[in-house]
C-alpha cells in the first residue's frame, strides 16, 4: 500500500499529464507496492482536481469487459472511471490528434439513466428499470501512464481507466425495443470496416456490466444519478488513430452511426 502523500503526488502527476498531453512511466514499476485500492484512491484524487477546476461528473466508463483483456491486465474483473463534462465532445467533432498522448478508439453502447441507481444488490432488472435509453458511442482511449510491457490494471485504474474523450450518437433507443445482447457493432476508419463485434462480448450482456459498476461504486458510497451516461464497454479491440482519420461506430437494431474526426 502507498501512503496518502504518495497517492497525492501521483494524482498530481496524472492530472498534469491530462492537461499537457505528456506521459509518465508505469506506476507498477516506479511503485511496486501499489495495490488496486491505491489506484482507485489516486483516481478519486485526480477527479477531485477536475471538480476543483469547475468540471462536473457526467457519467462513468467501464473497461476490461472481456476475459482476454482482463487476463492481459492481470485482473478478474473490469475497471472503471468517472467521466467529467469536458471529456464529452459533440458528434462529428474534430479532435486534434497532436494534443493526445497515445489515442485508441473503441465503440460502445451507452446507457442514459432516468432514475437514481445505487448498489449493493443491483441486478439486470434494476438496470433496465432505471435506464431511460441507450445510444451508440465512441470512446477515445488515451494513456497518461505510458503503455509498456508489464502494464496492468493498477496502472490503468489510477489513470482514469485510460479514458480520453467520449462522443454520443443522437439516436436514442429504448431497452424495451431491442435485445441489447444481440447488437452488432462495427468500427470503421475512413469508411473501411476494421473491427466487428457483438454486444454480448461485454460480459455476456452490457446490462450486466452496468449492474457490476453500480454495485462496485456502492463500496465508495456513489450512485448513478438521473442523466448520468454509463459507457458499458467495447465489443471490439481498441485501435490506434492518426491525424486525418474519420472514425465511425455503426450499430444495428436502430442505434445507427456516430462519427468522430481526428485532425
Task: Supply the pLDDT for residue 65.
Answer: 79
Is beta strand 163-168 parallel, antiparallel or unpaired with respect to 131-141?
antiparallel
Domain boundaries, the chain: 4-262
**pLDDT tens, per residue, the chain with 263 residues:** 999 999 999 999 999 998 888 899 999 999 999 999 999 999 999 999 999 999 999 999 998 776 656 665 667 778 899 999 999 999 999 999 999 999 999 999 999 999 999 999 999 999 999 999 999 999 999 999 999 998 889 999 999 999 999 999 999 999 999 999 999 999 999 999 999 999 999 999 999 999 999 999 998 889 999 999 999 999 998 999 999 999 999 999 999 999 999 99
The 3-state secondary structure of 220-234, one letter per residue:
CCCCECCCCEEEEEE
Query: Which phi and psi (to 5°) does residue 188 adopt?
Result: -110, 140
How many separate helices (H) and strands (E) can be counted in the chain?
7, 13
Task: Supply the pLDDT for residue 68.
Answer: 55
CA angle, 237 as apex, 220 and 112 as ends, to 5°?
A: 45
Q: How far apart are CA 259 and CA 183, in angstroms?
A: 18
CATH fold group of domain 4-262: Fumarylacetoacetate hydrolase; domain 2 (3.90.850)
**Which grid cell sits at 237?**
479491440
Task: Supply the pLDDT for residue 145.
Answer: 95
Residues 6+ away with beta carbon under 8 Å from 231:
59, 60, 61, 62, 83, 108, 110, 137, 139, 166
Q: How far apart are CA 197 and CA 40, in angstroms?
A: 29
Q: How far apart are CA 254 and CA 263, in angstroms?
A: 29
Amino acid at each position: 500500500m502507498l501512503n496518502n502523500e504518495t497517492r497525492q503526488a501521483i494524482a498530481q502527476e496524472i492530472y498534469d499529464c491530462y492537461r499537457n498531453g505528456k506521459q509518465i512511466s508505469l506506476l507498477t514499476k516506479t511503485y511496486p507496492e501499489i495495490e488496486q485500492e491505491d489506484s482507485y484512491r489516486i483516481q478519486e484524487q485526480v477527479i477531485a482536481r477536475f471538480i476543483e477546476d469547475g468540471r462536473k461528473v457526467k457519467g462513468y466508463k467501464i473497461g476490461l469487459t472481456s476475459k482476454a483483456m482482463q487476463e492481459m491486465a492481470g485482473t478478474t474483473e473490469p475497471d472503471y472511471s468517472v467521466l467529467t463534462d469536458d471529456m464529452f465532445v459533440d458528434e462529428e467533432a474534430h479532435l486534434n490528434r497532436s494534443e493526445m498522448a497515445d489515442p485508441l478508439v473503441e465503440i460502445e453502447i451507452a446507457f442514459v439513466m432516468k432514475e437514481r441507481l445505487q448498489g449493493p444488490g443491483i441486478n439486470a432488472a434494476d438496470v433496465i428499470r432505471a435506464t431511460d435509453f441507450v445510444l451508440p458511442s465512441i470512446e477515445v482511449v488515451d494513456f497518461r501512464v505510458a503503455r509498456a510491457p508489464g502494464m496492468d490494471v493498477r496502472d490503468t485504474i489510477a489513470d482514469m481507466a485510460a479514458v480520453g474523450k467520449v462522443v454520443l450518437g443522437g439516436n436514442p433507443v429504448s431497452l424495451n425495443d431491442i435485445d441489447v445482447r444481440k447488437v452488432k457493432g462495427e468500427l470503421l476508419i475512413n469508411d473501411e470496416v476494421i473491427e466487428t463485434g457483438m454486444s454480448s462480448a461485454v460480459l455476456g450482456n452490457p446490462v450486466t456490466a452496468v449492474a457490476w459498476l453500480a454495485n462496485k461504486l456502492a463500496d465508495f458510497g456513489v450512485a448513478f444519478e438521473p442523466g448520468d451516461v454509463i459507457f458499458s464497454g467495447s465489443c471490439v479491440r481498441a485501435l490506434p488513430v492518426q491525424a486525418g482519420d474519420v472514425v465511425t461506430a455503426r450499430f444495428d437494431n436502430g442505434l445507427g452511426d456516430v462519427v468522430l474526426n481526428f485532425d
